[in-house]
Amino acid sequence: MLTLTPTAFDPKTETPERRLAVAEMMCAAFAAAYPADPPLIAGREAHGLIQETPGECSEHVVVWDGSRALAWGMLHYSLNENLHLVHARLIVHPDARRRGLGREVARTLQARTRALGRDLVTFMTAERAPAGEPFARTLGAQATLPMRRSQLVLEDVSAELLRAWTTRPGQEPYALHLWEELPEEYLERLADMVMVMNTAPRGDIEMDDWTVTPEMLRSWEQQIVEAGEKRLTAVIEDTRSGELVGFSDVFWSPERAPLVFQGGTAVRPSARGHGLGKWLKAAVLLRLPEFAPGAQFVRTSNAEENAAMLGINVALGFAPWDSQTEWKLHLT
Protein backbone atom coordinates (compact mmCIF):
# COMPACT_ATOMS: atom_id res chain seq x y z
CA MET A 1 0.00 0.00 0.00
CA LEU A 2 1.40 3.37 -1.01
CA THR A 3 1.53 5.95 1.77
CA LEU A 4 1.93 8.94 -0.51
CA THR A 5 -0.27 11.87 0.48
CA PRO A 6 -2.29 14.24 -1.74
CA THR A 7 -0.80 17.74 -1.65
CA ALA A 8 -2.19 21.05 -2.82
CA PHE A 9 -1.28 21.94 -6.39
CA ASP A 10 -1.72 25.39 -7.90
CA PRO A 11 -1.23 25.11 -11.68
CA LYS A 12 -0.75 28.87 -12.04
CA THR A 13 2.31 28.92 -9.77
CA GLU A 14 3.74 25.44 -10.41
CA THR A 15 6.56 24.84 -12.85
CA PRO A 16 5.74 23.89 -16.45
CA GLU A 17 7.39 20.52 -15.79
CA ARG A 18 5.03 19.74 -12.91
CA ARG A 19 1.97 20.82 -14.91
CA LEU A 20 3.13 18.59 -17.76
CA ALA A 21 3.58 15.65 -15.37
CA VAL A 22 -0.05 15.96 -14.27
CA ALA A 23 -1.18 16.25 -17.90
CA GLU A 24 0.78 13.15 -18.88
CA MET A 25 -1.01 11.22 -16.13
CA MET A 26 -4.36 12.44 -17.52
CA CYS A 27 -3.36 11.35 -21.02
CA ALA A 28 -2.38 7.89 -19.80
CA ALA A 29 -5.73 7.46 -18.06
CA PHE A 30 -7.58 8.61 -21.18
CA ALA A 31 -5.63 6.21 -23.40
CA ALA A 32 -6.48 3.33 -21.06
CA ALA A 33 -10.20 4.11 -21.21
CA TYR A 34 -10.39 5.08 -24.91
CA PRO A 35 -7.58 3.23 -26.71
CA ALA A 36 -9.17 3.63 -30.16
CA ASP A 37 -9.50 7.41 -29.89
CA PRO A 38 -6.89 9.91 -31.04
CA PRO A 39 -4.70 10.52 -27.97
CA LEU A 40 -4.96 13.67 -25.91
CA ILE A 41 -2.13 16.16 -26.30
CA ALA A 42 -0.24 16.55 -23.03
CA GLY A 43 0.88 20.12 -23.65
CA ARG A 44 -2.68 21.25 -24.23
CA GLU A 45 -3.97 19.41 -21.18
CA ALA A 46 -1.25 21.11 -19.14
CA HIS A 47 -2.30 24.54 -20.40
CA GLY A 48 -5.92 23.71 -19.65
CA LEU A 49 -5.03 23.36 -15.97
CA ILE A 50 -4.41 27.10 -15.68
CA GLN A 51 -7.53 28.26 -17.50
CA GLU A 52 -10.32 29.78 -15.43
CA THR A 53 -13.60 31.46 -16.28
CA PRO A 54 -14.57 34.79 -14.65
CA GLY A 55 -16.56 34.17 -11.49
CA GLU A 56 -15.37 30.57 -11.15
CA CYS A 57 -12.53 28.89 -9.27
CA SER A 58 -10.68 25.56 -9.28
CA GLU A 59 -8.58 23.86 -6.61
CA HIS A 60 -6.28 20.91 -7.27
CA VAL A 61 -4.45 18.20 -5.32
CA VAL A 62 -1.84 15.76 -6.63
CA VAL A 63 -0.19 12.60 -5.34
CA TRP A 64 3.47 12.66 -6.34
CA ASP A 65 6.04 9.92 -6.61
CA GLY A 66 9.12 12.03 -7.09
CA SER A 67 8.50 13.98 -10.30
CA ARG A 68 5.78 11.60 -11.47
CA ALA A 69 2.09 12.36 -10.85
CA LEU A 70 0.18 9.28 -9.71
CA ALA A 71 -3.22 10.82 -8.96
CA TRP A 72 -4.99 14.13 -9.34
CA GLY A 73 -8.19 15.64 -8.03
CA MET A 74 -9.96 18.94 -8.68
CA LEU A 75 -12.84 20.94 -7.25
CA HIS A 76 -14.53 23.44 -9.54
CA TYR A 77 -17.09 25.90 -8.23
CA SER A 78 -18.79 29.23 -8.77
CA LEU A 79 -17.94 32.20 -6.57
CA ASN A 80 -21.31 33.84 -7.15
CA GLU A 81 -24.06 31.21 -7.24
CA ASN A 82 -24.82 27.67 -6.09
CA LEU A 83 -22.57 28.38 -3.12
CA HIS A 84 -23.49 25.04 -1.56
CA LEU A 85 -21.94 22.79 -4.22
CA VAL A 86 -18.74 21.89 -6.04
CA HIS A 87 -18.05 19.72 -9.07
CA ALA A 88 -15.21 17.23 -8.68
CA ARG A 89 -12.89 15.28 -10.95
CA LEU A 90 -10.52 12.53 -9.86
CA ILE A 91 -8.02 10.53 -11.93
CA VAL A 92 -5.51 7.87 -10.91
CA HIS A 93 -2.71 6.75 -13.23
CA PRO A 94 -3.50 3.30 -14.67
CA ASP A 95 -0.21 1.96 -13.22
CA ALA A 96 -1.07 3.15 -9.69
CA ARG A 97 -4.63 1.91 -9.27
CA ARG A 98 -6.00 -0.38 -6.55
CA ARG A 99 -3.56 1.07 -4.01
CA GLY A 100 -5.90 3.42 -2.16
CA LEU A 101 -4.83 6.63 -3.90
CA GLY A 102 -8.30 7.40 -5.17
CA ARG A 103 -9.74 7.14 -1.66
CA GLU A 104 -7.04 9.44 -0.29
CA VAL A 105 -7.69 12.05 -2.97
CA ALA A 106 -11.45 11.78 -2.41
CA ARG A 107 -11.02 12.32 1.34
CA THR A 108 -8.85 15.37 0.69
CA LEU A 109 -11.40 16.83 -1.73
CA GLN A 110 -14.24 16.24 0.73
CA ALA A 111 -12.32 17.95 3.52
CA ARG A 112 -11.62 20.93 1.28
CA THR A 113 -15.30 21.09 0.27
CA ARG A 114 -16.30 21.31 3.93
CA ALA A 115 -13.67 23.99 4.52
CA LEU A 116 -15.29 26.03 1.76
CA GLY A 117 -18.59 25.81 3.63
CA ARG A 118 -20.18 23.63 0.95
CA ASP A 119 -21.94 20.32 1.40
CA LEU A 120 -22.77 18.91 -2.04
CA VAL A 121 -20.31 17.33 -4.48
CA THR A 122 -21.26 16.37 -8.04
CA PHE A 123 -19.17 14.30 -10.44
CA MET A 124 -19.40 12.07 -13.51
CA THR A 125 -18.43 8.47 -14.22
CA ALA A 126 -18.23 6.73 -17.59
CA GLU A 127 -18.91 3.18 -18.71
CA ARG A 128 -15.53 2.96 -20.46
CA ALA A 129 -13.77 3.68 -17.16
CA PRO A 130 -15.63 0.93 -15.28
CA ALA A 131 -13.96 1.45 -11.91
CA GLY A 132 -15.77 4.77 -11.54
CA GLU A 133 -19.24 3.49 -10.66
CA PRO A 134 -18.24 1.07 -7.85
CA PHE A 135 -15.89 3.74 -6.48
CA ALA A 136 -18.76 6.26 -6.43
CA ARG A 137 -20.89 3.81 -4.48
CA THR A 138 -18.16 3.23 -1.89
CA LEU A 139 -18.21 7.00 -1.27
CA GLY A 140 -21.94 6.85 -0.57
CA ALA A 141 -22.83 8.87 -3.66
CA GLN A 142 -26.23 8.69 -5.33
CA ALA A 143 -26.70 8.26 -9.09
CA THR A 144 -28.88 11.16 -10.22
CA LEU A 145 -28.81 11.38 -14.01
CA PRO A 146 -28.05 8.58 -16.51
CA MET A 147 -26.54 9.92 -19.71
CA ARG A 148 -26.18 8.39 -23.15
CA ARG A 149 -23.11 9.16 -25.23
CA SER A 150 -23.85 8.59 -28.90
CA GLN A 151 -21.74 8.58 -32.04
CA LEU A 152 -22.67 9.51 -35.59
CA VAL A 153 -20.74 8.12 -38.57
CA LEU A 154 -20.68 11.08 -40.93
CA GLU A 155 -20.48 9.08 -44.15
CA ASP A 156 -23.75 7.38 -43.22
CA VAL A 157 -25.75 10.59 -42.76
CA SER A 158 -28.64 10.97 -45.20
CA ALA A 159 -28.12 13.99 -47.46
CA GLU A 160 -31.82 13.89 -48.26
CA LEU A 161 -32.69 14.16 -44.57
CA LEU A 162 -30.36 17.14 -44.09
CA ARG A 163 -31.93 18.91 -47.07
CA ALA A 164 -35.39 18.24 -45.68
CA TRP A 165 -34.47 19.60 -42.24
CA THR A 166 -32.87 22.77 -43.67
CA THR A 167 -35.69 23.53 -46.12
CA ARG A 168 -37.79 26.15 -44.39
CA PRO A 169 -41.21 27.63 -45.17
CA GLY A 170 -41.28 30.89 -47.07
CA GLN A 171 -41.77 34.15 -45.18
CA GLU A 172 -41.00 32.58 -41.81
CA PRO A 173 -39.60 34.95 -39.16
CA TYR A 174 -36.49 32.92 -38.37
CA ALA A 175 -32.96 33.42 -39.71
CA LEU A 176 -29.98 31.08 -39.29
CA HIS A 177 -26.44 32.30 -38.51
CA LEU A 178 -23.25 30.20 -38.48
CA TRP A 179 -20.25 31.66 -36.61
CA GLU A 180 -16.71 30.55 -35.93
CA GLU A 181 -16.13 33.79 -33.99
CA LEU A 182 -18.90 35.30 -31.90
CA PRO A 183 -19.96 38.76 -33.16
CA GLU A 184 -19.82 41.43 -30.49
CA GLU A 185 -23.27 42.75 -31.36
CA TYR A 186 -24.84 39.37 -30.56
CA LEU A 187 -22.84 38.56 -27.44
CA GLU A 188 -25.37 39.67 -24.83
CA ARG A 189 -28.24 37.99 -26.67
CA LEU A 190 -26.22 34.77 -27.02
CA ALA A 191 -25.41 34.68 -23.30
CA ASP A 192 -29.14 34.90 -22.61
CA MET A 193 -29.79 32.15 -25.16
CA VAL A 194 -27.20 29.77 -23.67
CA MET A 195 -28.95 30.03 -20.30
CA VAL A 196 -31.87 28.13 -21.86
CA MET A 197 -29.67 25.09 -21.13
CA ASN A 198 -31.02 25.49 -17.59
CA THR A 199 -34.16 23.78 -18.92
CA ALA A 200 -32.17 20.62 -19.74
CA PRO A 201 -32.62 17.64 -17.40
CA ARG A 202 -30.42 17.74 -14.29
CA GLY A 203 -31.75 14.78 -12.32
CA ASP A 204 -32.53 15.52 -8.69
CA ILE A 205 -29.39 17.54 -8.00
CA GLU A 206 -30.24 20.40 -5.67
CA MET A 207 -28.93 23.36 -7.63
CA ASP A 208 -30.15 26.73 -8.81
CA ASP A 209 -30.08 27.90 -12.41
CA TRP A 210 -26.67 29.12 -13.48
CA THR A 211 -25.87 32.42 -15.15
CA VAL A 212 -23.92 33.02 -18.36
CA THR A 213 -22.43 36.46 -19.08
CA PRO A 214 -20.86 37.95 -22.20
CA GLU A 215 -17.55 37.98 -20.31
CA MET A 216 -17.84 34.24 -19.77
CA LEU A 217 -18.53 33.66 -23.46
CA ARG A 218 -15.40 35.59 -24.42
CA SER A 219 -13.37 33.69 -21.82
CA TRP A 220 -14.57 30.34 -23.17
CA GLU A 221 -13.80 31.50 -26.70
CA GLN A 222 -10.24 32.34 -25.70
CA GLN A 223 -9.84 29.02 -23.92
CA ILE A 224 -10.94 27.19 -27.07
CA VAL A 225 -8.35 29.05 -29.15
CA GLU A 226 -5.61 28.34 -26.60
CA ALA A 227 -6.56 24.65 -26.64
CA GLY A 228 -5.95 24.53 -30.39
CA GLU A 229 -9.62 23.86 -31.09
CA LYS A 230 -12.22 25.46 -33.32
CA ARG A 231 -15.87 26.01 -32.50
CA LEU A 232 -18.77 26.35 -34.91
CA THR A 233 -21.86 27.96 -33.42
CA ALA A 234 -25.25 27.92 -35.13
CA VAL A 235 -27.96 30.27 -33.88
CA ILE A 236 -31.48 31.04 -34.97
CA GLU A 237 -32.71 34.61 -34.67
CA ASP A 238 -36.32 35.73 -34.54
CA THR A 239 -36.13 38.62 -37.01
CA ARG A 240 -39.25 40.21 -35.55
CA SER A 241 -37.56 40.93 -32.23
CA GLY A 242 -33.86 40.14 -32.68
CA GLU A 243 -34.14 37.55 -29.94
CA LEU A 244 -32.05 34.41 -30.36
CA VAL A 245 -34.34 31.40 -30.00
CA GLY A 246 -32.00 28.46 -30.64
CA PHE A 247 -28.33 27.54 -30.68
CA SER A 248 -26.04 24.56 -31.21
CA ASP A 249 -22.25 24.32 -31.21
CA VAL A 250 -19.57 21.77 -32.11
CA PHE A 251 -15.85 21.57 -31.39
CA TRP A 252 -13.00 20.20 -33.51
CA SER A 253 -9.21 20.02 -33.36
CA PRO A 254 -7.00 19.39 -36.43
CA GLU A 255 -4.70 17.20 -34.32
CA ARG A 256 -7.64 14.93 -33.46
CA ALA A 257 -9.30 15.37 -36.82
CA PRO A 258 -11.58 12.30 -36.96
CA LEU A 259 -13.65 13.47 -33.99
CA VAL A 260 -16.14 16.32 -33.73
CA PHE A 261 -17.71 16.92 -30.32
CA GLN A 262 -21.23 18.26 -30.02
CA GLY A 263 -21.63 20.88 -27.33
CA GLY A 264 -24.96 22.28 -26.22
CA THR A 265 -28.14 22.45 -28.28
CA ALA A 266 -31.20 24.30 -27.05
CA VAL A 267 -34.37 25.95 -28.32
CA ARG A 268 -36.40 28.37 -26.24
CA PRO A 269 -39.62 26.80 -24.94
CA SER A 270 -41.59 29.57 -26.68
CA ALA A 271 -40.14 28.58 -30.07
CA ARG A 272 -40.37 24.80 -29.83
CA GLY A 273 -42.50 22.78 -32.21
CA HIS A 274 -41.21 24.50 -35.37
CA GLY A 275 -38.38 22.11 -36.26
CA LEU A 276 -35.68 24.56 -35.13
CA GLY A 277 -33.64 21.92 -33.32
CA LYS A 278 -33.53 19.79 -36.47
CA TRP A 279 -32.60 22.85 -38.53
CA LEU A 280 -29.71 23.70 -36.22
CA LYS A 281 -28.32 20.16 -36.19
CA ALA A 282 -28.61 19.70 -39.94
CA ALA A 283 -27.07 23.09 -40.74
CA VAL A 284 -24.02 22.28 -38.61
CA LEU A 285 -23.58 18.87 -40.24
CA LEU A 286 -23.74 20.41 -43.70
CA ARG A 287 -20.94 22.84 -42.78
CA LEU A 288 -18.62 20.16 -41.31
CA PRO A 289 -16.72 19.25 -44.52
CA GLU A 290 -15.51 22.86 -44.69
CA PHE A 291 -15.18 23.47 -40.95
CA ALA A 292 -13.63 20.14 -39.91
CA PRO A 293 -11.74 18.49 -42.80
CA GLY A 294 -11.02 14.86 -42.05
CA ALA A 295 -13.87 14.49 -39.58
CA GLN A 296 -15.41 11.02 -39.51
CA PHE A 297 -17.53 10.95 -36.35
CA VAL A 298 -19.61 13.26 -34.18
CA ARG A 299 -20.04 12.45 -30.48
CA THR A 300 -22.71 13.86 -28.24
CA SER A 301 -24.06 13.32 -24.74
CA ASN A 302 -27.70 13.54 -23.66
CA ALA A 303 -29.69 12.71 -20.58
CA GLU A 304 -31.63 9.48 -21.10
CA GLU A 305 -34.79 11.35 -20.11
CA ASN A 306 -34.28 14.02 -22.78
CA ALA A 307 -36.56 12.29 -25.28
CA ALA A 308 -36.84 15.25 -27.67
CA MET A 309 -33.09 15.64 -28.26
CA LEU A 310 -32.49 11.90 -28.33
CA GLY A 311 -35.22 11.61 -30.97
CA ILE A 312 -33.46 14.13 -33.21
CA ASN A 313 -30.11 12.38 -32.75
CA VAL A 314 -31.49 8.91 -33.42
CA ALA A 315 -33.21 10.17 -36.58
CA LEU A 316 -29.87 11.55 -37.79
CA GLY A 317 -28.22 8.15 -37.22
CA PHE A 318 -26.54 8.59 -33.84
CA ALA A 319 -26.03 5.22 -32.14
CA PRO A 320 -25.20 4.55 -28.47
CA TRP A 321 -21.45 4.66 -27.90
CA ASP A 322 -21.20 4.45 -24.14
CA SER A 323 -22.96 5.72 -21.04
CA GLN A 324 -22.20 8.21 -18.31
CA THR A 325 -23.75 8.84 -14.93
CA GLU A 326 -23.91 12.06 -12.98
CA TRP A 327 -23.66 11.55 -9.21
CA LYS A 328 -24.22 13.63 -6.11
CA LEU A 329 -22.62 13.21 -2.70
CA HIS A 330 -24.04 14.97 0.34
CA LEU A 331 -21.44 15.72 3.00
CA THR A 332 -23.18 15.42 6.35
On the 0-12 / 13-18 / 19+ scale of CB atoms within 10 A, 114 is exposed
**Topology agreement, domain 7-118 and domain 149-324:** yes
CB 217 within 8 A of CB 187: yes
* Chunked mean pLDDT (size 10), the chain, 332 residues: 81 97 98 96 96 96 96 98 98 96 97 98 96 96 97 97 96 96 97 95 92 96 95 98 98 97 96 96 98 98 94 97 97 88
Enumerate the domain spans of the chain: 7-118, 149-324
Angle at 201 between CA 217 and CA 299, to 5 degrees: 65
Phi, psi of 118 (to 5 degrees): -115, 155
Question: What is the CATH T-level fold of the domain 7-118, as seen in this structure?
Answer: Aminopeptidase (3.40.630)
Q: pTM for this one?
A: 0.93
149-324 classified as CATH 3.40.630.30 = yes
Question: In this predicted structure, what is the pLDDT of residue 323?
Answer: 97
Question: In this predicted structure, what is the pLDDT of residue 3?
Answer: 56
From CA 240, how far away is CA 150, in angstroms rounded?
36
